[in-house]
A and B are shown apart, each in its own frame.
Chain A
Protein backbone atom coordinates (compact mmCIF):
# COMPACT_ATOMS: atom_id res chain seq x y z
CA UNK A 1 0.00 0.00 0.00
CA UNK A 2 1.13 3.53 -0.69
CA UNK A 3 2.33 5.27 2.44
CA UNK A 4 4.48 8.05 3.80
CA UNK A 5 6.48 7.46 6.97
CA UNK A 6 8.04 10.01 9.26
CA UNK A 7 10.20 8.25 11.77
CA UNK A 8 10.52 10.93 14.38
CA UNK A 9 7.40 11.77 16.31
CA UNK A 10 8.92 14.50 18.47
CA UNK A 11 12.36 16.06 18.15
CA UNK A 12 13.79 18.40 20.77
CA UNK A 13 16.84 20.48 19.95
CA UNK A 14 18.69 23.44 21.33
CA UNK A 15 19.11 26.55 19.24
CA UNK A 16 21.95 26.34 16.69
CA UNK A 17 21.79 22.54 16.60
CA UNK A 18 21.54 20.83 13.23
CA UNK A 19 18.29 19.23 12.19
CA UNK A 20 17.44 16.21 10.10
CA UNK A 21 13.90 14.86 9.89
CA UNK A 22 13.35 11.56 8.16
CA UNK A 23 10.75 10.82 5.53
CA UNK A 24 10.31 7.61 3.58
CA UNK A 25 7.64 6.72 1.10
CA UNK A 26 6.40 3.55 -0.54
CA UNK A 27 5.03 4.54 -3.91
CA UNK A 28 5.74 3.02 -7.27
CA UNK A 29 6.49 5.17 -10.26
CA UNK A 30 7.11 8.88 -10.38
CA UNK A 31 6.53 10.86 -7.21
CA UNK A 32 6.51 14.51 -6.30
CA UNK A 33 7.69 15.23 -2.79
CA UNK A 34 6.95 18.06 -0.40
CA UNK A 35 7.68 19.31 3.06
CA UNK A 36 5.14 21.49 4.82
CA UNK A 37 5.43 23.33 8.11
CA UNK A 38 2.58 24.11 10.48
CA UNK A 39 3.28 26.66 13.18
CA UNK A 40 1.15 26.42 16.31
CA UNK A 41 -2.44 27.29 15.51
CA UNK A 42 -1.72 28.02 11.89
CA UNK A 43 -2.27 26.42 8.54
CA UNK A 44 0.13 24.45 6.38
CA UNK A 45 2.88 26.33 4.61
CA UNK A 46 5.04 24.89 1.87
CA UNK A 47 8.73 24.70 2.78
CA UNK A 48 10.05 23.05 -0.36
CA UNK A 49 9.18 20.61 -3.09
CA UNK A 50 10.88 18.18 -5.45
CA UNK A 51 9.59 17.30 -8.89
CA UNK A 52 12.69 16.40 -10.90
CA UNK A 53 16.28 17.44 -11.53
CA UNK A 54 18.76 18.21 -8.77
CA UNK A 55 17.87 15.90 -5.86
CA UNK A 56 19.06 18.49 -3.37
CA UNK A 57 16.27 21.01 -2.99
CA UNK A 58 16.56 24.37 -1.28
CA UNK A 59 13.53 25.78 0.44
CA UNK A 60 12.52 28.77 2.49
CA UNK A 61 13.87 29.69 5.92
CA UNK A 62 17.18 27.88 5.30
CA UNK A 63 15.67 24.41 4.94
CA UNK A 64 16.77 21.88 2.37
CA UNK A 65 15.88 18.31 1.52
CA UNK A 66 17.56 15.54 -0.40
CA UNK A 67 15.73 13.06 -2.57
CA UNK A 68 17.45 9.66 -2.54
CA UNK A 69 15.54 7.50 -4.95
CA UNK A 70 17.29 4.27 -4.00
CA UNK A 71 16.27 4.74 -0.39
CA UNK A 72 12.80 6.11 -1.13
CA UNK A 73 13.69 8.96 1.18
CA UNK A 74 13.27 12.72 1.25
CA UNK A 75 14.84 13.92 4.49
CA UNK A 76 14.57 17.51 5.63
CA UNK A 77 17.62 19.32 6.96
CA UNK A 78 18.63 22.61 8.44
CA UNK A 79 22.19 23.32 9.61
CA UNK A 80 21.25 25.58 12.52
CA UNK A 81 17.75 25.74 13.98
CA UNK A 82 16.18 28.71 15.69
CA UNK A 83 13.56 28.93 18.40
CA UNK A 84 11.13 30.18 15.75
CA UNK A 85 11.43 26.85 13.93
CA UNK A 86 9.33 25.22 16.62
CA UNK A 87 6.45 23.73 14.67
CA UNK A 88 4.99 20.57 13.19
CA UNK A 89 6.63 19.32 10.00
CA UNK A 90 4.86 17.18 7.43
CA UNK A 91 6.29 15.21 4.58
CA UNK A 92 3.89 14.68 1.68
CA UNK A 93 3.88 12.75 -1.57
CA UNK A 94 1.89 13.02 -4.76
CA UNK A 95 1.91 9.73 -6.60
CA UNK A 96 0.42 8.56 -9.85
CA UNK A 97 -3.13 9.25 -8.74
CA UNK A 98 -2.25 12.93 -8.21
CA UNK A 99 -3.53 12.92 -4.64
CA UNK A 100 -1.36 14.26 -1.84
CA UNK A 101 -0.79 11.97 1.11
CA UNK A 102 0.87 13.12 4.29
CA UNK A 103 3.12 11.51 6.82
CA UNK A 104 2.08 11.56 10.46
CA UNK A 105 4.14 14.67 11.12
CA UNK A 106 7.13 15.43 13.33
CA UNK A 107 6.86 17.91 16.13
CA UNK A 108 10.01 19.99 16.47
CA UNK A 109 10.68 21.83 19.71
CA UNK A 110 13.64 24.18 19.76
CA UNK A 111 14.81 25.27 23.19
CA UNK A 112 16.14 28.83 23.41
Chain B
Protein backbone atom coordinates (compact mmCIF):
# COMPACT_ATOMS: atom_id res chain seq x y z
CA UNK B 1 0.00 0.00 0.00
CA UNK B 2 1.30 3.41 -0.96
CA UNK B 3 1.74 5.57 2.14
CA UNK B 4 1.39 8.97 0.44
CA UNK B 5 -0.22 8.95 -2.96
CA UNK B 6 -0.63 11.82 -5.37
CA UNK B 7 -2.73 12.04 -8.49
CA UNK B 8 -2.17 12.74 -11.25
CA UNK B 9 1.48 11.89 -11.74
CA UNK B 10 1.70 14.10 -14.81
CA UNK B 11 -0.45 17.08 -15.71
CA UNK B 12 -0.15 19.17 -18.87
CA UNK B 13 -2.49 22.10 -19.19
CA UNK B 14 -2.86 25.47 -20.84
CA UNK B 15 -2.30 28.85 -19.28
CA UNK B 16 -5.35 30.25 -17.58
CA UNK B 17 -6.85 26.89 -16.68
CA UNK B 18 -7.78 25.80 -13.18
CA UNK B 19 -6.48 22.45 -11.98
CA UNK B 20 -6.28 20.33 -8.85
CA UNK B 21 -3.76 17.85 -7.54
CA UNK B 22 -4.91 15.32 -4.99
CA UNK B 23 -2.96 13.85 -2.10
CA UNK B 24 -3.93 11.09 0.28
CA UNK B 25 -2.01 9.48 3.12
CA UNK B 26 -2.87 6.26 4.92
CA UNK B 27 -0.35 6.65 7.72
CA UNK B 28 -2.65 8.32 10.21
CA UNK B 29 -0.38 11.37 10.25
CA UNK B 30 -1.64 14.65 11.63
CA UNK B 31 0.15 17.09 9.37
CA UNK B 32 0.36 17.24 5.60
CA UNK B 33 2.43 19.50 3.37
CA UNK B 34 2.80 20.68 -0.17
CA UNK B 35 6.23 21.40 -1.59
CA UNK B 36 7.15 22.87 -4.94
CA UNK B 37 10.30 21.76 -6.73
CA UNK B 38 11.31 24.13 -9.49
CA UNK B 39 13.41 23.49 -12.57
CA UNK B 40 16.57 24.03 -10.57
CA UNK B 41 15.50 21.28 -8.15
CA UNK B 42 14.99 23.73 -5.31
CA UNK B 43 12.37 22.47 -2.84
CA UNK B 44 10.19 25.09 -1.23
CA UNK B 45 7.49 24.50 1.32
CA UNK B 46 4.14 25.94 0.25
CA UNK B 47 1.55 24.89 2.77
CA UNK B 48 0.96 22.67 5.72
CA UNK B 49 -2.24 21.50 7.33
CA UNK B 50 -2.57 20.21 10.87
CA UNK B 51 -5.95 18.90 11.92
CA UNK B 52 -7.56 20.77 9.04
CA UNK B 53 -5.99 24.06 10.02
CA UNK B 54 -3.57 25.91 7.82
CA UNK B 55 -0.45 26.56 9.84
CA UNK B 56 1.94 27.67 7.16
CA UNK B 57 1.24 29.80 4.16
CA UNK B 58 4.51 30.76 2.57
CA UNK B 59 4.64 33.62 0.11
CA UNK B 60 2.82 31.79 -2.63
CA UNK B 61 0.28 33.44 -4.92
CA UNK B 62 -3.31 33.29 -3.73
CA UNK B 63 -4.09 31.41 -6.93
CA UNK B 64 -2.90 28.40 -4.96
CA UNK B 65 -5.28 27.11 -2.35
CA UNK B 66 -4.99 23.96 -0.26
CA UNK B 67 -8.15 22.09 0.60
CA UNK B 68 -8.30 19.42 3.27
CA UNK B 69 -11.62 17.57 3.43
CA UNK B 70 -10.28 15.33 6.20
CA UNK B 71 -7.04 14.49 7.98
CA UNK B 72 -6.00 11.99 5.33
CA UNK B 73 -6.32 14.32 2.35
CA UNK B 74 -4.72 17.59 1.32
CA UNK B 75 -5.56 18.70 -2.21
CA UNK B 76 -3.94 21.59 -4.03
CA UNK B 77 -6.08 23.81 -6.23
CA UNK B 78 -4.46 26.17 -8.67
CA UNK B 79 -6.43 28.86 -10.47
CA UNK B 80 -5.45 30.78 -13.59
CA UNK B 81 -2.35 28.72 -14.22
CA UNK B 82 0.77 30.53 -15.41
CA UNK B 83 3.89 29.31 -17.20
CA UNK B 84 5.89 29.82 -14.02
CA UNK B 85 3.74 27.33 -12.19
CA UNK B 86 5.40 24.53 -14.13
CA UNK B 87 7.19 22.43 -11.55
CA UNK B 88 7.02 19.18 -9.64
CA UNK B 89 4.72 19.34 -6.65
CA UNK B 90 5.29 16.97 -3.75
CA UNK B 91 2.88 16.12 -1.03
CA UNK B 92 4.22 14.95 2.34
CA UNK B 93 2.92 13.93 5.71
CA UNK B 94 4.32 13.84 9.23
CA UNK B 95 3.19 12.11 12.36
CA UNK B 96 3.05 13.58 15.84
CA UNK B 97 6.26 14.27 17.69
CA UNK B 98 7.94 15.93 14.77
CA UNK B 99 11.05 13.79 14.81
CA UNK B 100 9.78 11.06 12.57
CA UNK B 101 10.69 12.82 9.42
CA UNK B 102 8.40 13.24 6.52
CA UNK B 103 6.96 10.72 4.09
CA UNK B 104 6.80 12.07 0.58
CA UNK B 105 4.53 11.26 -2.29
CA UNK B 106 5.94 10.47 -5.70
CA UNK B 107 5.27 13.94 -7.03
CA UNK B 108 3.11 15.52 -9.70
CA UNK B 109 4.88 17.03 -12.67
CA UNK B 110 2.83 20.02 -13.79
CA UNK B 111 3.57 21.53 -17.18
CA UNK B 112 1.80 24.70 -18.20
CA UNK B 113 1.89 25.46 -21.93
Which A residues form the contact surface with B (CB < 8 A)? Answer: 32, 34, 38, 42-44, 46, 49, 51, 88, 90, 94, 98-102, 104-105, 107
A-B contact count, CB below 8 Å?
A: 46
| B100 to A: closest C-beta gap in Å | 9
Apart from A44-B90, A46-B101, A88-B41, what are 11 other A-B pairs with CB-CB below 8 Å?
A32-B99, A43-B105, A43-B106, A43-B107, A44-B104, A49-B101, A94-B99, A100-B101, A102-B43, A104-B40, A104-B41
Nearest to B40 among chain A residues (CB) is A104
Q: Are A100 and B41 in contact (CB under 8 A)?
A: no
Determine whether B102 belongs to the interface, using a CB cutoff of 8 Å to chain A: yes
Give the interface size class of chain B. Answer: 20 to 34
Q: Give chain B residues whose Cβ lies under 8 Å from the Cβ of A105.
A: 41-43
Decide yes or no: A43 and B90 within 8 Å by CB, A98-B98, A105-B41 being known contacts: yes
Decide yes or no: A32 and B98 within 8 Å by CB, A99-B45, A99-B56 being known contacts: yes
| B45 to A: closest C-beta gap in Å | 6
Which B residues form the contact surface with A (CB < 8 A)? Answer: 31, 33, 35, 40-45, 48, 56, 90, 92, 94, 98-99, 101-102, 104-107
Main secondary structure of the interface of B (DSSP, over half): strand
Q: Give chain A residues whose Cβ lies under 8 Å from the Cβ of B45.
A: 99-101
Q: Are A100 and B99 in contact (CB under 8 A)?
A: no
Nearest to A46 among chain B residues (CB) is B101
Which listed residue (A43, A49, A51, A99) contacts B104, Cβ 8 A? A43
Which of the listed residues A100, A101, A102, A107 has the most CB atoms from chain B within 10 Å of its own CB?
A100
Nearest to B43 among chain A residues (CB) is A102
Q: Give chain A residues whose Cβ lies under 8 Å from the Cβ of B48.
A: 99
Which listed residue (A42, A51, A101, A107) contacts B41, Cβ 8 A? A107
